[in-house]
A and B are shown apart, each in its own frame.
Chain A
Amino acid sequence: MSSAHEASARATAVATLGETIPTDAEVTPLDGRRWGMVIDLDRCTGCQACVVACQAENNIAINEENRVLERRAKTWIRIERYWEGEFPNAKARFIPVLCQHCGNAPCETVCPVWATYHNPEGLNVQVYNRCIGTRFCANGCPYSVRYFNFWNPEWPEPLNNQLNPDVTVRTKGIIEKCTFCLQRINRARVTSKNEDREIADGEVQPACVQSCPTTALVFGDLNDPSTTASRLAESERRYTLLENFGTDPSVVYLKKVDPHVEIDHHHGHHAETAGKHA
């Protein structure tokens, strides 16, 4: 789906713009890879370790209390908490939501300056230098995972010393979002190239995946059937978020197993709560 879409978009672009756009092969030797993530909601405890790790890894501005209250806090990955049932039998359900790196992304088509585009490895990439801040992409995104910089971020001493040198600090007036820790993918690519081998499964771990105490998050190449991520993505509990938008996300969720609900093994899905999250 993703590569066919990519190819047709490229054909159109080449027809319009001439043979000036580099082909996939010129851009990258790693053709056919699709980075993706599997999130097992049965393991997720909603501890927010991923949120903190992401904040530290990606130089995300400090979310002070009033920033949160005015709904301008930036959280590239956020834990959405939903209550189920009535008190006292209420249950909290957690779902980590990050950029879904859609194969058919609504944000990419609407950006007037190509600040967001799909790279050949299936990542939805935000090019900060191009972004002019129309915020059209943020409106188009059904997951609301794109965040706008209303001001220049500031880190008081000594917090500025812990900024990650591999990640751009975003200026005011542009959109930012989850990159699947692109800097870590690039580091793994360089290391593996120097050692003359392919990137191993599990070698790339975004900060959220690395910090998850229950290994609810698994990252890997979804196009390679041998990786842990793609094996988990085949689970009968799999679903993608807001499937009806047809966005073809690269993030696969595994439905929470509810011990109180009978499982209909013949049909391979839960009898009562099937599709509740999807």
Chain B
Amino acid sequence: MQEPVIADNKTANRELLDFVFSWPKWFFLVGGALNGLIVAGFLVVVVMLWFGLQFLGYSHPVYWGFLIVNFVFWIGVSHAGIMVSAILRLTQAEWRRPVTRAAEVLTIFSLLTAVQFPLIHSGRPWRTMYWTFPYDWNRGAWPNPRSPLVWDPSAIFTYLTSTILFVYVALIPDLALARDRAPNPISRAIYGVLAMGFRGSTRQWRIQAIAGILLSAIILPIFVSVHSIVSWDFAVTSVPGWHNTIFAPYFVIGAVHSGVSAVVTVMIVMRYAFGLKRYITRDHIDSLARLLIVVATVWLFFFMLDLFFGLYGTEPAEVDTWQRRLIEPPWIVLAIIFIFTAYLIPVPMWMFRSVRRNFFLMFVTTILVNIGMWIERYMVVVPALERKSGLTFTYGDYAPSLSEIILVIASFGLVILGFLTFAKLLPIMPAADIKEGQILADRIKVGRANVPAAMRE
């Protein structure tokens, strides 16, 4: 899809940087409310540190629950950024341009939020350094490289580092733009330092473009590895319902499903909140929705594979877990909500062009997908633990406590506040990228022929 020409350079510069230099009232209201959520979550964490984990819903033998589910969920959402930016960049999908930065920033903040959860959920979080940073590797004391919990921090921190690099490289021309347009000398100086002397010379543009393309290619294997490794947290154990070879691709595609849906939600909110009606159009949401139809269907295919592999083996414990997940009350209620919200409602709706081009319906359906995907993670983690082996005497139940619910809500506050703060301080719309798209879309007359004004990179 070729972008239409929408604005000349001057208007684009002004409109895309508008939010960075203005202080609307709602920013303080929303920021304050989100801070309230985060303070509530913080208090819960302090109580957990002081009194142990007794206020959480865990009991014997269900030792993982809401917090791990939330961890998997946010790691999943973080897969949006690279899916949208790197893959669409490499495949030269023109419509990606306004979407990329928001998706990448969503990646950063959902990753930063996700990593909090295994930490606060461990019994002695103040010892996390031993586990996540193998500082004493040479003496062989810490940590154990056979454990997926050691693979996790490696994968996640690699992903986080490379995503921040990726965002920064794409941000440099926009930072230079902000530097040139900043209203006061202090912010001009800060943007100037961050822009690293970017003046827009041909050589600088070439280096920036090559760095972006290289990072896109390098980041892809990391992207696949992160959620694979998160899935191995479950798959390498012998718990029936977890012990499944299909888990890695199933988790990755599920992550893309929920991540791209989250991007659509965020784009629609941005369109109205930041006044970007000219730049985030029905065409963009339409394209993302078409991508989502494919992703959602592949995800459903893997979900069915997971189910069929479980049933085909006819191993009683595995079949029991599936029966509990999908058929037994009260889980059947969750199962129905899950399959309807994650697939059966949104995907058939997306088949219609009028739905794909309707902001309200797209907003609702993508929210539904993420509700469904949250429940999906819950259905993966908890029922398997409740019925872990043939020893029926140890069967247990799990219900989340108030503390866990507060923490989950606070995690949403943390992601949104991070996103909002980023948008306030730095250009959330990739101005340079959008303008590049405009130039590519521009056409000039050469003799009688009407040809593109610029060659592709």
| B131/A172 in contact, CB under 8 A | no
| B140/A13 in contact, CB under 8 A | yes
Contacts of A175 in B (CB 8 A): 123
How distant is B195 from chain A, measured CB to nearest CB, in Å? 40
Measured between alpha carbons, how far is A70 from B55 in the docked complex, in Å? 12
B297 on interface, CB distance cutoff 8 Å: no
Measured between alpha carbons, how far is A109 from B147 in the docked complex, in Å? 6
Contacts of B51 in A (CB 8 A): 151, 172
| A72/B130 in contact, CB under 8 A | no
| A110/B52 in contact, CB under 8 A | no
Interface string of A121-163 (1 = CB under 8 A from B): 0000000001111111011101110011111100000000000
Contacts of A242 in B (CB 8 A): 389-391
How distant is A12 from chain B, measured CB to nearest CB, in Å? 9
| B122/A139 in contact, CB under 8 A | no
| B141/A114 in contact, CB under 8 A | yes
Which of A17-25, A48-56, A190-198, A248-256 lies at the interface? Answer: A17-25
Q: How many residues of B contact A (CB 8 A)?
A: 47
A32 on interface, CB distance cutoff 8 Å: no
Q: Choose among A20, A139, A147, A173 the residue with the greatest number of B CB atoms under 10 Å from its CB.
A: A139
Contacts of B237 in A (CB 8 A): 106, 110, 136, 139-140
Measured between alpha carbons, how far is A138 from B389 in the docked complex, in Å? 13
Contacts of B123 in A (CB 8 A): 131-135, 148-149, 172-175
Known contacts A135-B123, A143-B389: A71-B59 contact under CB 8 Å? yes
Measured between alpha carbons, how far is A117 from B128 in the docked complex, in Å? 19
| B149/A112 in contact, CB under 8 A | yes
A60 on interface, CB distance cutoff 8 Å: no
| B393/A113 in contact, CB under 8 A | no
Contacts of B140 in A (CB 8 A): 13, 17-18, 20-21
| B145/A113 in contact, CB under 8 A | no
| B143/A82 in contact, CB under 8 A | no
Nearest chain A residue, comparing its CB with the CB of B125: A132
Known contacts A17-B138, A113-B143, A139-B64: A80-B149 contact under CB 8 Å? no
Q: Choose among B143, B233, B238, B392 the residue with the greatest number of A CB atoms under 10 Å from its CB.
A: B238
| B53/A173 in contact, CB under 8 A | yes
Q: Choose among B60, B146, B388 the residue with the greatest number of A CB atoms under 10 Å from its CB.
A: B60
| A135/B64 in contact, CB under 8 A | yes
Known contacts A71-B59, A114-B144, A138-B61: A80-B124 contact under CB 8 Å? no
| A132/B138 in contact, CB under 8 A | no
How distant is B54 from chain A, measured CB to nearest CB, in Å? 4
Measured between alpha carbons, how far is A144 from B387 in the docked complex, in Å? 11
Q: Which of A17, A73, A132, A142 contacts B128 (CB 8 A)?
A: A132
| B54/A82 in contact, CB under 8 A | no
How distant is A44 from chain B, measured CB to nearest CB, in Å? 14
| B130/A142 in contact, CB under 8 A | no
| B52/A173 in contact, CB under 8 A | yes
| A18/B144 in contact, CB under 8 A | no
Q: How many residues of A contact B (CB 8 A)?
A: 48
B42 on interface, CB distance cutoff 8 Å: no
Contacts of B360 in A (CB 8 A): none
Measured between alpha carbons, how far is A131 from B52 in the docked complex, in Å? 14
Known contacts A144-B61, A174-B124: A134-B118 contact under CB 8 Å? yes
How distant is A139 from chain B, measured CB to nearest CB, in Å? 6
Known contacts A135-B63, A135-B64: A152-B52 contact under CB 8 Å? yes
| B127/A132 in contact, CB under 8 A | yes
| B145/A16 in contact, CB under 8 A | yes
Contacts of A72 in B (CB 8 A): 54, 59-60
Interface string of B132-148 (1 = CB under 8 A from A): 00000111111111111
| B391/A143 in contact, CB under 8 A | yes
| B54/A139 in contact, CB under 8 A | no
B249 on interface, CB distance cutoff 8 Å: no
| B131/A245 in contact, CB under 8 A | no
A212 on interface, CB distance cutoff 8 Å: no
B270 on interface, CB distance cutoff 8 Å: no
Measured between alpha carbons, how far is A150 from B123 in the docked complex, in Å? 8
Known contacts A143-B389, A149-B52, A242-B390: A138-B138 contact under CB 8 Å? no
Contacts of A138 in B (CB 8 A): 60-61, 63
How distant is B320 from chain A, measured CB to nearest CB, in Å? 14
Interface string of B101-131 (1 = CB under 8 A from A): 0000000000000000010001111011011
| B142/A109 in contact, CB under 8 A | no
Q: Which of A17, A106, A112, A150 contacts B52 (CB 8 A)?
A: A150
Measured between alpha carbons, how far is A36 from B262 in the docked complex, in Å? 54
How distant is A203 from chain B, measured CB to nearest CB, in Å? 32
Interface string of A3-28 (1 = CB under 8 A from B): 00000000001001110110000000
Nearest chain A residue, comparing its CB with the CB of B139: A20
Q: Can you list 10 A-B pairs, Cβ within 8 angstroms, ordered by A? A: A113-B143, A131-B123, A132-B128, A139-B239, A140-B238, A144-B61, A144-B389, A150-B53, A150-B54, A174-B123
Q: Tell me the B residues contacting A by CB distance below 8 Å.
A: 51-54, 58-61, 63-64, 118, 122-125, 127-128, 130-131, 137-150, 233, 236-239, 385, 388-394, 396
Can you name 9 extra interface pairs (CB under 8 A) apart from A130-B130, A136-B233? A71-B59, A112-B147, A131-B124, A133-B122, A135-B58, A140-B238, A144-B60, A148-B60, A172-B52
